[in-house]
Amino acid sequence: MAAHVEEKDVNCKRSKIDDTPDQTSVQSTKKIKKDKVESEDRVSKTLESFDGFEVLKILYKNPQNKSVFLYGKFQGNDDNAVVLLEKTPFPVSALSTLLSADVSLKPLLQNDIYSVYDGLPKQDLGFSGIKTTVIYPATERHIEKYTDQDVALIEETCDDYCNITLPYLEEQTFKIQWVYNILEKKAEEVERIVYEDPDHQDGFVLLPDMKWDRKQMENLYLVAICHRKGIKSLRDLNHQHLPLLRNIRDKCQKEVQEKYCIASDQLRLYLHYQPSYYHLHVHVTHVKFDAPGSGVTRAHLLSDVIENIELMPDYYQRKTLTCVLREKDGLLARFREVRGQKK
Ligand code: M7G
């Protein structure tokens, strides 16, 4: 048994350093193809309203950032839907309309010099105030992803990656059709592409992340998706990927400076570990924005990743990586099972 594990371990290291399509990536490609076929006839339609929508469960609510995530169904349809409602920040351009006769004030409190009102716009002031994201049809994984749950910190050694994480990932069918839609220009989002380097090896597409309402620069959130397929995550990165990583860093900084007038020292470029989608991508956010997942338990600065690999080419095949896993994540259950831990 030990010999078997060791052999598998060596293969695991070799496949990552070679960066050639080994058995693993062939298997992943098969799964990706399967996802593609499955999802092609399940493309969600553009909704005009929530007519007939029934809320079945509140998955998460946060009064601080004024968001609520819901699970529900549309009448007469059995498909699941996940809806994310988030109040957006005030656009500076709308302030003059907001502080005008177009908003009537209903007093809620009056005491000395202090007063509180309900501000009621008399008409549409040009900003909806509610960012509405719909995932439809949603899978069980989506419902889990957006459900409020406890998390656990896991220290994943390189052996754990080979023996627990990688086999688990290979069993899953991850839906990354949205990534291919962008890379192959099949999604409407193509119009929003900020920049593209079409090179097959080191190229990438930079576009607004689904999390950004594209209204304010202070919460700028872009995502750079590499063209190269088969790089699942940070764990796969080695010295052969340095040109790709440097290219993403340099061009993203340049393009954001030119397009949004945001200097490179105001930008945070990072990768998630573990990511939700196992096709290499880099998060690009404004440094002032406290983006979800930008903390130490999940984010790895791209500049640090580059330097670590420069110092040690197989750094990410050797380093123990601490990551946060959610209670309902099957990977956490697998770690607990292997480590003989009970919840
Ligand atoms: P991640 O680290 O794999 O997972 O990042 P996370 O969602 O847990 O952060 C994937 C990133 O891609 C996230 O920032 C998502 O908001 C973003 N994203 C996901 N989808 C399905 C889309 C999409 O369809 N379009 C765009 N533009 N971004 C997306």
pLDDT in the model for residue 263: 97
82, 131, 135, 211: which to mutate for ligand 1, most atoms within 8 A of CB?
Answer: 211
Which residues have C-beta atoms less than 6 Å from ligand 1? 178, 189, 207-211, 223, 272, 275-277, 281, 283, 293
State how far the Cα of 277 lies from the Cα of 274, in Å rounded to an integer: 9
Name which of 39-43, 124-128, 130-134, 242-246 the model is least confident about: 39-43
35, 46, 193, 223: which to mutate for ligand 1, most atoms within 8 A of CB?
Answer: 223
Helix axes 242-260, 302-311, angle to 10 degrees: 150
pLDDT in the model for residue 12: 63
Q: What is the whole-number distance in angstroms between the Cα of residue 111 and the centre of ligand 1?
A: 46
Residue predicted with more confidence, 22 or 116:
116
For residue 32, give both structure tokens: 């990706």
Residue predicted with more confidence, 254 or 25:
254
Confidence band for 127, pLDDT divided at 50, 70 and 90:
low
Q: Are 219 and 293 in contact (CB under 8 A)?
A: no
Query: Mean pLDDT, the chain, as a whole number?
Result: 86
Q: What is the whole-number distance in angstroms between the Cα of residue 339 and the centre of ligand 1?
A: 31
Task: Name the active-site residue from 142, 241, 281, 286.
Answer: 281
Choose among 275, 283, 267: nearest CA to 225. Answer: 283
Q: What is the mean pLDDT of residues 74-87?
A: 94
Q: Are 144 and 329 in contact (CB under 8 A)?
A: yes
**277 in a known ligand binding site:** yes
pLDDT in the model for residue 73: 96
Q: What is the mean pLDDT of residues 185-195?
A: 90
Q: Are 233 and 280 in contact (CB under 8 A)?
A: yes
Could you report the per-residue pLDDT of 27-61, keeping only the tens digit for each? 333 333 333 333 434 456 788 899 999 999 999 99
Is 286 annotated in the active site? no
pLDDT at 86 over 60: yes
Beta-bridged to residue 323, according to DSSP, are 154
Q: What is the mean pLDDT of residues 270-278?
A: 96
pLDDT at 256 over 50: yes
Choose among 256, 323, 316: nearest CA to 284. Answer: 256
CA 72 to chain centroid: 22
Q: What is the whole-number distance in angstroms between the Cα of residue 210 and the centre of ligand 1?
A: 6
Helix axes 23-40, 2-18, angle to 10 degrees: 70
Residue predicted with more confidence, 300 or 191:
300
E strands, the chain, are 53-62, 67-74, 81-87, 103-111, 114-121, 130-135, 151-156, 195-197, 204-208, 221-226, 267-272, 281-286, 299-301, 321-326
Question: 231: number of CA atoms within 13 Å, CB side?
Answer: 25
Q: What is the mean pLDDT of residues 297-313?
A: 98
Confidence band for 128, pLDDT divided at 50, 70 and 90:
low
Q: What is the whole-number distance in angstroms between the Cα of residue 209 and the centre of ligand 1?
A: 6
